[in-house]
């Protein structure tokens, strides 16, 4: 049974926590109202702002970003087109950011290097980054011990050098890359990711060779023994190549989206990989046009 002294300590601690929560709500209230009125969507947890989403940045200035920087407990930051290096620089001292995503940012490689200041960063997403983002700056994020998830999609300049930079992120567990400018040989840079459990590889952005995903990529994937889940899309792959994935001892899921392969071979693949749940989606006519452009050129 709790004695009088213990009860007193408990009450003091509870009061302190309530005071901290109330103070946090008070700190967030002013900037939160202004940011919401200007088009941002904020997520609150127990009265504290923990999520910030800004789909349109065109009317936002440095003073607005300084208000975002006052949201000291924000954990998730999401931005639409236009985020610049200078704007990001105003946010890098936010102490609790764990998830950061952009779609159409203007960040270049130096700007991306600033993300190393988010010491608790766990998930990072780049959709349609600028043509000044080659990905080499990602190597500087190797200092982040909690960075486990990364997505890069929709870039005509993110190539093998960017993939090589990803290969330095030794704590990655989940990686998604598609519609970029790398080729299958670039994937070899990922072999040293010993903790990687899930990988998604889609076709390169261009409709002409070389390919990012082809039979040449399968031996590379099969060498990454920690993989549990593999998702592949927009390619022509053979049963012989895909069968190499049986070398993955922990594989439980294989997803083939828009993959040109006979349905009868999919059935054979399921027999060869009995421990893995295999989901296959046949290519659409649009997929086949793209696959033909990549794989049928003489």
**Domain 4-226 class, CATH top level:** alpha beta
Q: How far apart are CA 106 and CA 128, in angstroms?
A: 10
pLDDT (0 to 100) of residue 192:
93
What is the arrangement of strands in the sheet containing 76-79, beginning at the earlier edge strand?
41-45, 48-54, 76-79, 99-103, 123-127, 149-153, 174-178, 198-201, 229-236, 253-260, 277-281
pLDDT (0 to 100) of residue 5:
54
Q: Mean pLDDT for the chain?
A: 92
Report the 10 Å Cβ neighbour count for 56: 13
Is residue 195 over pLDDT 90?
yes
- Domain boundaries, given as residue ranges, for the chain: 4-226, 227-298
Lookup result for tokens 């601690």: 13
Is residue 9 over pLDDT 50?
no
Q: How far apart are CA 146 and CA 149, in angstroms?
A: 9
Is residue 11 over pLDDT 70?
no
Q: What tens digit of pLDDT does each residue of 15-59 get?
A: 333 334 444 445 666 799 999 999 999 999 999 999 999 999 999
Mean pLDDT to the nearest integer, 177-181: 97
Structure-model confidence comparison of residues 180 and 297, the more confident one: 180
Structure-model confidence comparison of residues 208 and 3, the more confident one: 208
Q: Express as a percent the part of the chain with pLDDT over 90.
A: 89
Query: Can you point out the beta strands (E) in the chain?
Result: 41-45, 48-54, 76-79, 99-103, 123-127, 149-153, 174-178, 198-201, 229-236, 253-260, 277-281
Q: What tens digit of pLDDT does each residue of 85-123 get?
A: 999 999 999 999 999 999 999 999 999 999 999 999 999
pLDDT (0 to 100) of residue 21:
42
pLDDT (0 to 100) of residue 12:
42
């Amino acid at each position: 049974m709790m004695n009088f002294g213990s009860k007193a300590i408990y009450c003091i601690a509870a009061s302190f926590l309530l005071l901290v929560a109330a103070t946090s709500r008070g700190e967030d209230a002013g900037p939160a109202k202004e940011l919401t009125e200007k088009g941002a969507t904020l997520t609150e947890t127990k009265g504290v702002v923990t999520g910030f989403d800004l789909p349109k940045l065109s009317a936002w200035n440095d003073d607005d970003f300084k208000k975002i920087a006052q949201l000291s407990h924000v954990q998730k930051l999401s931005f639409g087109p236009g985020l610049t290096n200078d704007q990001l620089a105003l946010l890098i001292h936010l102490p609790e950011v764990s998830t950061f995503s952009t779609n159409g940012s203007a960040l270049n490689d130096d700007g991306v290097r600033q993300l190393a200041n988010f010491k608790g960063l766990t998930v990072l997403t780049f959709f349609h980054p600028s043509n000044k983002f080659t990905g080499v700056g990602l190597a500087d994020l190797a200092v982040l011990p909690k960075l486990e998830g990364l997505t890069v999609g929709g870039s005509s300049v993110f190539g093998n050098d960017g993939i090589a930079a990803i290969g330095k992120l030794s704590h990655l567990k989940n990686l998604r890359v598609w519609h970029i400018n790398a080729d299958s040989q670039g994937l070899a840079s990922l072999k040293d990711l010993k903790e990687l459990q899930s990988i998604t590889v889609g076709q390169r952005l261009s409709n002409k060779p070389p390919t990012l995903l082809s039979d040449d990529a399968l031996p590379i994937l099969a060498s990454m023994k920690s993989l549990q889940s593999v998702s592949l899309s927009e390619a022509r792959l053979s049963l012989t190549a895909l069968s190499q994935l049986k070398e993955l001892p922990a594989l439980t899921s294989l997803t083939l989206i828009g993959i040109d392969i006979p349905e009868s071979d999919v059935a054979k693949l399921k027999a060869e990989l009995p421990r893995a749940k295999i989901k296959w989606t046949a290519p659409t006519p649009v997929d086949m046009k793209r696959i033909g452009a990549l794989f049928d050129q003489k």
